[in-house]
Structure 1
Amino acid sequence: MFPNPSFFKSLGWGLAITVLVTFLMERMGFIRINRQAHLENMLILVSWWMISSLVFYYRKKIRLNSTLLWQIAVLPAFLTGILLIDQWMAIPDNPVSIFLLILFWMRIAWIIVPEFLRKYRIAVFGVYGSIWLVFFALRFNENYFNQYHQVVILFLLIPIPFFLLLWFFEQWKRIKNLEMEKNAAELAMLKNQINPHFFFNTLNNLYGLCMEKSDQAPELVLKLSEMMRYAIYEGKETSVPLSRDVKYLENFLELQGLRHRVSPEISFKKEITEDPLISPLLFIVLIENAFKHGMEKLTEGGFVRINLYSGKDRLRFQIENNFDSNDSKSDKGIGLENLKRRLELSYPGVHELKIKEENGIFRVNLEILWK
Structure 2
Amino acid sequence: MINFETMMEFLKKYKAFIYGLVLFRIIVFALTRLDVIYIDNSEVLANTLSFIFSWVLISLPIHYFSFIKEHKKSSLKLLALSVLFFAVIINDMNSRIIDNPITFVGLVVVGLSFFSILVPAYFKKYSLLVIGFYVLALSYFYYVRIYIDDLSIYLKQEKEIKIILTTPFFILLLNWFYQQWKWLKTVESKKSKAELALLKSQINPHFFFNTLNNLYGLTVEKSDDAPNVVLKLSDMMRYTIYKGNEEEVFLKDEIDYLNNYIELHKIRYNKFVEITFNHSCELDCKVAPLLFIIPLENAFKHGVECLTEGAYIHIDLKTNKGVIYFSIENNFEAPKTTHTGGIGLENLKQRLKLLYPNSHNIQIETKNSNYKLTIEIKTI
| TM bin (shorter chain) | 0.5 to 0.7
Per the alignment, residue 129 of structure 1 pairs with: 22
User: Which sits farther off after the overlay, 281-290 or 198-207?
Assistant: 198-207
Is the CA contact 2:337–2:368 (under 8 Å) kept in the aligned structure 1?
A: no
Shift, 1:308, TM fit: 0.6
**Structure 2 CA distance for partners of 1:280 and 1:134, relative to 1, 3 Å:** same
Take 1:195 and 1:333, find their aligned partners in 2: how far apart are those partners? Answer: 16
**Structure 2: which amino acid aligns with 1:248?**
Y
Structure 1 residue 315 and structure 2 residue 324: aligned? yes
Check the 8 A contact 2:329/2:373 in 1, yes or no: yes
Partner amino acid, structure 1, of 2:341: K
Give the 3 Å change call, closer, same or farther, for CA 271–155 of structure 1 in structure 2.
farther
Tell me the CA shift for residue 359 of structure 1.
3.6
C-alpha contact 1:206 1:220 (8 A) present in aligned 2: no
Structure 2 counterparts to residues 127-166 of structure 1, below 5 A? 127-134=20-27, 136-137=29-30, 143-145=38-40, 150-155=49-54, 161=174, 166=180
SS of residue paired to 1:326: helix
Deviations 1:254-289 (A, max 9, x none): 222232222122121112133323322221112111
Structure 2 unaligned regions, length at least 5: 60-172
Change (3 A) 1:168 1:259: same
Q: Please state if 1:288 is matched with 2:297.
A: yes
User: 2:48 & 2:242 partners in 1: Cα distance?
Assistant: 66
In structure 2, relative to structure 1, the CA distance for the partners of 1:279 and 1:229 (3 Å cut) is same
User: Helix, strand or coil: the match of 2:335?
Assistant: coil
One-letter identity of the residue aligned with 2:19: G
Do residues 114 (structure 1) and 8 (structure 2) align?
A: yes
State the structure with more CA Rg.
2
Q: 2 CA distance for matches of 1:242 and 1:184?
A: 23
Q: RCO higher in 1 or 2 (8 Å CA, sep ≥ 6)?
A: 1
- Kindly indicate whether residue 170 of structure 2 is the aligned counterpart of residue 170 of structure 1: no
In structure 2, distance between residues paired with 1:297 and 1:338: 23
Q: Structure 2 CA distance, aligned partners of 1:320 and 1:131?
A: 60
Matched with 1:302 is 311
SS at 1:235 equivalent:
helix
Of 206, 226, 244, which aligns to 2:253? 244
Which AA in structure 1 matches 2:20?
V
Q: Which whole-Å CA distance do the structure 1 matches of 2:190 and 2:243 have between them?
A: 26
What are the equivalent positions in structure 2 for 1:196-235 lying under 5 Å apart?
A: 196-200=208-212, 202-203=214-215, 206-207=218-219, 210-211=221-222, 216-235=225-244
How many aligned residue pairs are there?
259
Q: TM-score, normalised by structure 2?
A: 0.55
- Summarize the Cα distance change of 1:176–1:275 in structure 2 as closer, same or farther, 3 Å threshold: closer
**Aligned residues of 1:116 and 1:167 also touching (Cα < 8 A):** yes
Task: Give the match's secondary structure for 2:245.
Answer: coil
Partner of 1:29: none
The Cα of 1:246 is off from its aligned counterpart by 0.6
Quick check: 160-169 or 125-134, which moved more?
A: 160-169
> How far apart are the structure 2 equivalents of 1:137 and 1:356?
60
Counterpart of 1:368 in 2: which secondary structure?
A: strand
Quickly say closer, same or farther: Cα 1:134–1:241, change in 2 above 3 A.
Answer: same
1:1-371 to 2 correspondence within 5 Å? 7=1, 113-117=7-11, 119-120=12-13, 123=16, 125-134=18-27, 136-137=29-30, 143-145=38-40, 150-155=49-54, 161=174, 166-189=180-203, 192=204, 195-200=207-212, 202-203=214-215, 206-207=218-219, 210-211=221-222, 216-327=225-336, 330=339, 332-371=341-380
Do the aligned partners of 2:337 and 2:366 also contact (CA within 8 Å) in 1? Answer: no
| Matching residue's letter, 1:130 | L
Determine if contact 1:194/1:228 at 8 Å carries over to the other structure.
no
Q: 1:298 to 1:132 in 2, by over 3 A?
A: farther
Which residue of structure 1 aligns with residue 74 of structure 2? Answer: none
Structure 1 CA distance for aligned equivalents of residues 333 and 217 of structure 2: 26
How much does 1:166 deviate? 4.8
